[in-house]
């Protein structure tokens, strides 16, 4: 970055209190990266006072003393962007965890400096522009096969343009010059970008294409758009993590950025163990080849947890700028908010609601606003970043500040429900409280790509579920036998929607992913039974007989089988047959 801060780039520690260090005799800009103490721990300036500055330190501060030196790097906290990001596993400040392990063993000790991108690895660079061509910011000058499935596009960094003076094909490290411009500027395959600043784009577009997740309840009932933002609040034990991991595995984004922010170590291990083994259904290659993992578990330093979200979104934006669709999962933004709270309270800032800093909702909004479907600066292809943020409301109380601030900015809301989880209804997303504001924008897409009556089919299912909810209240009081026959039938149809359609097993090899066509067919089959049964009921068949139609259960079998089309049409025919014979009986 240009313009180092002046002479006083060295100072001394005045006070240490947990992750917060106060230094004196040094000048700095806000968010400058500092080296703190003899061990040169990484930290960031978060407050400036007349004679002292406050630094949040990303590493454990035990044993750090007043009077130790503090040094200003003159740079804000940055992310290194270039080939090698994919398949990486980073901590919150983009240090590769495998490298940390080889440096310091099984535990995260402190003072380790290691770059985000491997400096030694050579990548094969193929230019796509020629000598003499004019290039502008964001334009692709060459490509690198980063993994077997993703072609990395080497771009001119934002703010740079000019005429290519030299460019050549060959094997380079990320620091070596691959092209130089007439104005003397040398271009490498690596860009650096301050993580707290969003990367520029040409234009933000309306998100009008759904992010297909393969999860029936999400795709059909509460879709998320590519470039949209969704929130999953869920009390503990409600299946939030599994849902997020399902999304990471199955959503049809090109790139997945998964941020484990303040979560469990063992769970992160599961992700780290599972992801490399997972085979991407579209490419038949390991899912890791299009994934970046960021793991900052709950016992790793709290300030790095705060930074992890920004590191992740910056990487996501970088791939978006190449024209890719990126899905970013943040698990969990509540832990991120708590990190903010913890640091804020160490700063003795005046707290807002529940001890969270007053700027909580501004920070959350800023983060979610970095989602979007955009025209990148120099690439014709449209790229997008979709954010799926998990929220862990304490005590399952959705009125707490983090959930509320999130709700104000996200447009899709998947309300996880512990009660459903207790009943082993997975994914335990409550169909009554959840919503998606993208439905209308996405409708034309569904109509064109799945079925003309997609919307009405979905609405019919939703209507039945709503009715069920109302009827359940009565059932709670008087029992289902007291209901009129047609309402008893509605209850049964709703149960079928819930158990046959909404329930989906993440652990079953077939059921774990369900394409839109299959979702549509399944809804249709259930509604087929509904229509026929309603007709038969009117014709005088007793509801008890309709509830005992065996063939209905075959619709559920379709979930677990690959030849679902046949099973569903067989089931429909069998239902027709049974109903016909019931009709015959009464005649």
Partner 1 sequence: MEMKEYKTITRIAGPLLFVEKTHPVGYGEIVKVTLSNGEKRLGQVLDTSKDIVIIQSFEGTSGMDKKSSVRFLGDVMRLKVSEDMLGRILNGRGEPIDNGPEIIPDEELDINGAAINPYARGPPEEFIQTGISTIDGMNTLVRGQKLPIFSGSGLPHNDIALQIARQAKVLGEKETFAVIFAAMGITNEEAQKFIRDFEETGAIEHAVVFLNLADDPAVERLITPRLALTTAEFFAYQKGMHVLVILTDMTNYCESLREISSAREEIPGRRGYPGYMYTDLANIYERAGMIKGKKGSVTQIPILTMIGDDITHPIADLTGYITEGQVVLSRELHMKGIYPPVDVLPSLSRLMNQGIGKGKTREDHRQVSDQLYAGYAEGRDLRGLVAIVGEEALSARDRRLLKFAEAFENTFVRQGIKENRGIEKTLDVSWNLLSVIPRDELTRLSEDFKRRFYKGEGAEHAYVKEEVEEKVEKRETEKAAPKKEIKEAKKKAAPVHKKHKAKKK
Of 46-65, which residues contact partner 1 (CB under 8 A)?
Answer: 60-65
Shortest Å distance, C-beta 395 to partner 1: 3
DSSP 278: P
Give the pairing of strands 255-261 and 325-331: parallel
Considering all CA atoms of the chain, what is the largest pairwise distance in Å, rounded to the nearest integer? 100
Helix (H, G, I), strand (E, B) or coil at 186: strand
Residues numbered 330 to 359 that lie near partner 1 (CB under 8 A) are 335, 338, 341-342, 345, 348, 351, 354-355
- Using the rule CB under 8 A, is 517 a contact of partner 1? no
Shortest distance in whole angstroms from residue 406 CB to partner 1: 17
Distance (Å, rounded) from C-alpha 464 to C-alpha 493?
8
As measured in angstroms, the least distance from the Cβ of 462 to partner 1 is: 23
Binding letters toward partner 1, positions 464-493, x by CB under 8 A: -----------xxxxxxxx-----------
Q: Which of 398, 407, 418, 583 binds partner 1 (CB under 8 A)?
A: 418
Shortest spacing between CB 306 and partner 1, in angstroms: 12
Q: Residue 370 in 3-state DSSP?
A: coil
Residue choice 273, 284, 380, 584 for contact with partner 1 (CB under 8 A): 273
Q: Which is nearer to partner 1, 164 or 489 (CB)?
A: 489
Site for partner 1 in 87-146 (CB under 8 A): 89, 97-98, 100-101, 104-109
The nearest distance, CB 506 to partner 1, in angstroms, is 9
Q: How many CB atoms lie within 10 A of CB 273?
A: 9
Comparing C-alpha atoms, which of 68, 70, 112 is closest to residue 93?
112
Single out the residue of 48, 74, 81, 70 nearest to residue 174, CA to CA: 81
If the CB atoms of residues 241 and 361 are measured against partner 1, the closer one turns out to be 241
Compute the radius of gyration of the chain from its Cα atoms. Answer: 28
- What minimum distance in Å lies between the beta carbon of 351 and partner 1? 5
Q: How far apart are CA 562 and CA 329, in angstroms?
A: 29
CB of 423 to partner 1, least distance (A): 5
**Nearest approach, Cβ of 29 to partner 1 (angstroms)?**
24
* 397 part of the interface to partner 1, by CB under 8 A: yes
Q: Helix, strand, or coil here: 17?
A: strand
Q: How far is CA 16 from CA 22, 27, 46, 110, 141, in A?
A: 6, 18, 15, 16, 47
Interface of this chain with partner 1, residues 552 to 571, rule: CB under 8 A = 553, 556, 560
Task: Name which of 295 and 388 has its Cβ closer to partner 1.
Answer: 295
Instruction: Kindly state the DSSP code that residue 381 receives in the 8-state scheme.
Output: S
Whose Cβ is closer to partner 1: residue 63's or residue 444's? 63
User: CA 320 to CA 325: how far, in whole Å?
Assistant: 6
- Say if CB 138 and CB 199 are below 8 A apart: no
Given 243, 297, 386, 412, the residue binding partner 1 (CB under 8 A): 297
DSSP reduced 3-state for 117: coil
Instruction: Give the per-residue SS3 of 193-238.
Output: EECCCCCCCCEEECCCCECCCCCHHHHHHCCCECCCEEEEECCCCC
Answer left, alpha or beta for residue 358, where phi above 0 means left and psi between -120 and 50 means alpha: alpha
Reduced to 3 states, what is the DSSP secondary structure of residue 360? helix
Instruction: Give whichever of 260 and 323 is closer to partner 1, judged by the CB atom.
Output: 260
Strands (E), 311-441: 325-331, 372-375, 383-391, 412-413, 435-436
- Coil, helix or strand for 73? strand
Work out how close the CB of 92 gets to partner 1 at its nearest, in angstroms, rounded to a whole number: 11
Which string of x and - marks every residue 161-200 that binds partner 1 (by CB under 8 A)?
A: ----------------------------------------
CB of 488 to partner 1, least distance (A): 10
Q: How far is the CB of 344 from partner 1 (least distance, A)?
A: 8
Residue with smaller CB distance to partner 1, 211 or 271: 271
* Count, residues near partner 1 per rule CB under 8 A: 79
Pick 141 or 288: Cβ nearer partner 1: 288
Closest to partner 1 by CB, 198 vs 311, is 311
Per CB under 8 A, contacts with partner 1 among 376-395 are 392, 394-395
Minimum CB–partner distance for residue 414 and partner 1 (Å): 18
Q: How far apart are CA 513 and CA 507, in angstroms?
A: 10
Q: Is 38 in the site for partner 1 (CB under 8 A)?
A: no
Q: Which one of 2, 120, 277, 550 is in contact with partner 1 (CB under 8 A)?
A: 550
Query: Rounded to whole angstroms, how far apart are CA atoms 312 and 513?
Result: 26
- Asked if 17 is part of the footprint of partner 1 (rule: CB under 8 A), the reply reads yes
Name the β-bridge partners of 279: 286
Task: Give the three-state DSSP class for 78.
Answer: strand
Q: Which stretch binds partner 1 (CB under 8 A): 196-204, 421-429, 513-521, 570-578?
A: 421-429
Q: Would you call 239 helix, strand, or coil by DSSP?
A: coil
Among 204, 423, 562, 577, binds partner 1 (CB under 8 A): 423
Q: Nearer to partner 1 by C-beta: 252 or 267?
A: 267
Is residue 522 a contact point for partner 1 (CB under 8 A)? no
* Partners of residue 330 on adjacent β-strands: 259, 389
| Cα atoms found within 13 Å of the Cα of residue 402, Cβ hemisphere only | 27
Cα angle 128, 134, 140; round to 5 = 35
Quote the least distance from Cβ 293 to partner 1, whole Å. 9
- Among 295, 533, 541, 582, the residue binding partner 1 under the rule CB under 8 A is 295
Shorter beta-carbon distance to partner 1: residue 303 or 371: 303
Residues numbered 233 to 272 that lie near partner 1 (CB under 8 A) are 236-237, 241, 260, 262, 264-270, 272
Q: Is the peptide bond before 332 cis (omega within 30 degrees of 0)?
A: yes
Q: Residue 241 or 384: which CB sits closer to partner 1? A: 241
Shortest gap between Cβ of 468 and partner 1 (angstroms)?
15
């Amino acid at each position: 970055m240009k313009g180092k801060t002046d002479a006083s780039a060295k100072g001394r520690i005045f006070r240490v209190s947990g992750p917060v260090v106060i230094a004196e005799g040094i000048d700095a800009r806000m968010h400058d990266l500092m080296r703190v103490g003899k061990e040169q721990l990484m930290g960031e300036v978060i407050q400036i006072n007349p004679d002292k500055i406050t630094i949040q330190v990303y590493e454990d501060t035990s044993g750090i003393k007043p009077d130790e030196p503090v040094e200003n790097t003159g740079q804000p906290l940055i992310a290194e962007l270039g080939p090698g990001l994919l398949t990486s596993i980073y901590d919150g400040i983009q240090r590769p965890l495998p490298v940390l392990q080889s440096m310091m063993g099984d535990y995260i000790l402190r003072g380790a400096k290691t770059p985000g991108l491997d400096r030694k690895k050579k990548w094969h660079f193929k230019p796509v522009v020629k000598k003499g061509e004019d290039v502008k910011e964001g334009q692709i000058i060459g490509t690198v096969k980063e993994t077997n499935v993703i072609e990395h596009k080497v771009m001119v960094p934002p703010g740079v343009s000019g005429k290519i003076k030299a460019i050549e094909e060959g094997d380079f490290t990320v620091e070596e010059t691959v092209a130089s411009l007439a104005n003397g500027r040398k271009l490498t395959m690596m860009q650096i970008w301050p993580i707290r600043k969003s990367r520029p784009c040409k234009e933000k577009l309306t998100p009008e294409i759904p992010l297909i997740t393969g999860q029936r309840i999400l795709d059909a009932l509460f879709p998320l758009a590519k470039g949209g933002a969704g929130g999953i609040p869920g009390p503990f034990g409600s299946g939030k993590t599994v849902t997020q991991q399902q999304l990471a595995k199955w959503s049809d984004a090109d790139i997945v950025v998964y941020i484990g922010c303040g979560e469990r170590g063992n769970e992160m291990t599961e992700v780290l163990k599972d992801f490399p083994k997972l085979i991407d259904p579209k490419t038949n290659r390991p899912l890791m080849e299009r994934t970046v993992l960021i793991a900052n578990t709950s016992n790793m330093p709290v300030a790095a947890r705060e930074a992890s979200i920004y590191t992740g979104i910056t990487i996501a934006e970088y791939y978006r700028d190449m024209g890719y669709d990126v899905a970013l999962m943040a698990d969990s933004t509540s832990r991120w908010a708590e990190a903010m709270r913890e640091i804020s309270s160490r700063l003795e800032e005046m707290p807002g609601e529940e001890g969270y800093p007053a700027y909580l909702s501004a920070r959350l909004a800023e983060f979610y606003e970095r989602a979007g479907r955009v025209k990148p600066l120099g690439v014709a292809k449209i790229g997008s970043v979709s954010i799926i943020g998990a929220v862990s409301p304490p005590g399952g109380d959705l009125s707490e500040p983090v959930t509320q601030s999130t709700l104000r900015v996200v447009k899709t809301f998947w309300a996880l429900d512990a009660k459903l989880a207790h009943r082993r209804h997975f994914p335990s997303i409550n169909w009554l409280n959840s919503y998606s504001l993208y439905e209308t924008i996405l409708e034309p897409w569904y109509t064109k790509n799945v079925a003309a009556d997609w919307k009405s089919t979905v609405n019919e299912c939703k209507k039945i579920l709503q009715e069920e909810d109302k009827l359940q209240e009565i059932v709670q009081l008087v029992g289902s036998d007291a209901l009129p026959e047609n309402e008893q039938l509605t209850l049964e149809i709703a149960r079928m929607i819930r158990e046959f359609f909404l329930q989906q097993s993440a652990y079953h090899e077939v059921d774990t992913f369900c394409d839109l066509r299959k979702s549509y067919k399944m809804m249709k089959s259930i509604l087929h039974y509904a229509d026929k049964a309603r007709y038969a009921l009117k014709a005088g068949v007793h509801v008890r007989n309709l509830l005992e139609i065996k063939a209905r259960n075959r619709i559920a079998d379709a979930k677990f089988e690959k030849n679902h089309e046949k099973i569903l049409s067989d089931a429909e025919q069998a239902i027709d047959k049974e109903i016909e014979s019931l009709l015959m009986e009464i005649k």
